[in-house]
Amino acid sequence: MVTREGARWHYLDSAATAQKPNVVIDAVARALGPDYATVHRGLYARSAEMTTAYEAARREVAALIGGAEHELVFTRGATEAINLVAQTWGVANLRPGDRILLSLLEHHSNIVPWQLIRDRTGAEIDVCPLTPDGRIDLDAAEAMLSPAHKLVAFSHVSNVLGGVLDVARAVRMAHAVGARILIDGCQAVARVPVDVAAFDCDFYVFSAHKLYGPTGIGALWAKAELLGAMPPWQGGGSMIDRVTFAETTWAPAPQRFEAGTPAIAEAIGFAAAARFVKAQGLGAIHAHEAALVKRARSELGRINAVRLFGPEDSAGIVSFTIEGVHPHDLGTILDEENVAIRAGHHCAQPLMAALDIPATARASFALYSDDSDIAALVRGIERTLRIFA
């Protein structure tokens, strides 16, 4: 990648959002241009064709994670998907005395919606600690779980520490006490193979823009029987069966949860991104990123002032601090070197408090990353240390 001036640009912020391949950009451009029409309403040919393409996109996105199209709801992103579950399944099923189990490393999007539901329903929240290397401590979670727990909500891959959850074990533990389990797959779907059927999880959420797709769209996958029992969240067009002033009846899931005109071009781009990732091979992507993580941790570990966080085998993410240098200052100096990282609390303030730090610097990789990006990062850190010395 290059800057607007033509210089090499080292993009190490893919955990925030991935750069888009041409196949995705072209798919969105076609959907907004020669192919454009509304969906589900028009009787004319182009509308019917776009409706077919939109529903085919649902099928392709669901297939990426081993799901079926009738189990997948398009949302504005993973954040909305979690809120949808909280405001529908949560309101219908949680009562005073019920408990929700989260982990210490969750993104705010997998904390705040459950706090809102806690305050609305009277349910309580428990927090699972981490292992010394920064993974969700499933031994501790198993000891904490009780029949009072109705929901477990864990990240598949931490957006700060990069640790990969043993999803199958987490699901078995939740189901053993009768709880449902939601997995936040935002950082996982572009990095590791996902099979919701094999996992047997109840809900799985993810966003397109971290998967090399467009912003403004994501997905909720849920078991069909759960979606079928969940009440609608928003009202409007498309999510209805019949409307009278006396009463309204609802469309079946997943349409019940997609009120209004959907993000049509974005859904087409989402499917293009899913095809792109499948063509590259998630196993190959994970191996590529794992090799970069290993190399980056080795190079950064040689710098005495650097403190690394997270497990050695993190999935595509390396978080660190530099003694005497705030991550924001590091990010600013690295930007002068055409190196883009993320610096801050990464929407994980409870984790930062537990680590007793205000923020970290985060370098995150993707399939377009290579050794030159690591070399540029190290050069930028060495320059930063000279400046602050």
pLDDT tens for 331-345 read 999 999 999 999 999
pLDDT at 7: 81
128, 186, 201, 347: the catalytic one is 347
Task: Let me know if 347 is a catalytic residue.
Answer: yes
In order of their start, the domains of the chain are: 22-279 (3.40.640.10), 281-388 (3.90.1150.10)
Listed in sequence order, the residues at least 6 apart from 271 whose beta carbon sits closer than 8 Å to its beta carbon are 27, 56, 57, 60, 61
Evaluate if residue 138 carries a pLDDT over 80. Answer: yes
Query: pLDDT band at residue 106, thresholds of 50, 70 and 90?
Result: very high
Find the mean pLDDT for residues 170-178.
98
Listed residue (110, 122, 128, 178) closest to 148, CA to CA: 178
Instruction: Give the number of other Cβ atoms within 10 Å of residue 347's Cβ.
Output: 17
Q: How, if at all, do strands 99-103 and 149-155 pair?
A: parallel
Best CA proximity match to 24, nearest among 217, 214, 264, 282: 214
Q: Say what the pLDDT of residue 28 is.
A: 98
Mean pLDDT of 365-380: 98
pTM over 0.85: yes
pLDDT tens figures, 5-57: 778 899 999 999 999 999 999 999 999 999 999 999 778 999 999 999 999 99
Residues 6+ apart with CB under 8 A from 83: 113
Would you say residue 66 has pLDDT above 90?
A: yes
% the chain with pLDDT above 90: 96
Alpha helices by DSSP H, 239-322:
264-280, 282-301
Contact between residue 87 and residue 276 where contact means Cβ atoms under 8 Å apart: no
Tokens 């730090």: give the residue.
357
Q: Give residue 3's pLDDT.
A: 75
Q: Tell me the mean pLDDT in the region 271-279.
A: 98
